[in-house]
Amino acid sequence: GQQLNQSPQSMFIQEGEDVSMNCTSSSIFNTWLWYKQDPGEGPVLLIALYKAGELTSNGRLTAQFGITRKDSFLNISASIPSDVGIYFCAGYPGSARQLTFGSGTQLTVLP
């Protein structure tokens, strides 16, 4: 099936630093979604992107839908301890109605 390459796999950053993670695909995606998952919980939707080139913010989070429709990035500015968790990109390849998930980025914020 379709695969999303998400990087980095894990990040250790100091509180207050900015962080960036991205997803790439070999095929075109029509939608990109970014989720955060805390331990033992389900993913929570952070940002949804609907068209190529779109740049959307949600508080300290900013995400962009790549112009080629094959990539997306998520930036977190001024990280805080509660940003700790696993971040997943997800999207619908082509005309698919099922989400494809990236492998996740484990974020650790050091005090």
Give the interface with another protein as residue ranges (CB under 8 A): 31, 33, 35, 40-45, 48, 50, 88, 90, 92, 97-99, 101-104
Residues 6+ apart with CB under 8 A from 108: 10, 11, 12, 13, 84
Q: How far is the CB of 1 from another protein (least distance, A)?
A: 8
84, two tokens: 């700790």
Q: How far is the CB of 24 from another protein (least distance, A)?
A: 15
Q: How far is the CB of 64 from another protein (least distance, A)?
A: 17
Helix (H, G, I), strand (E, B) or coil at 84: coil
Q: How far is the CB of 103 from another protein (least distance, A)?
A: 5
- Which residue, 64 or 105, has its beta carbon nearer to another protein? 105
Task: Answer yes or no: are the C-beta atoms of 81 and 15 closer than 8 Å.
Answer: yes
- Which residue, 3 or 77, has its beta carbon nearer to another protein? 3
- Which residue, 10 or 26, has its beta carbon nearer to another protein? 10
- Which residue, 44 or 78, has its beta carbon nearer to another protein? 44
Nearest of 68, 57, 58, 60 to residue 23 by alpha carbon: 68
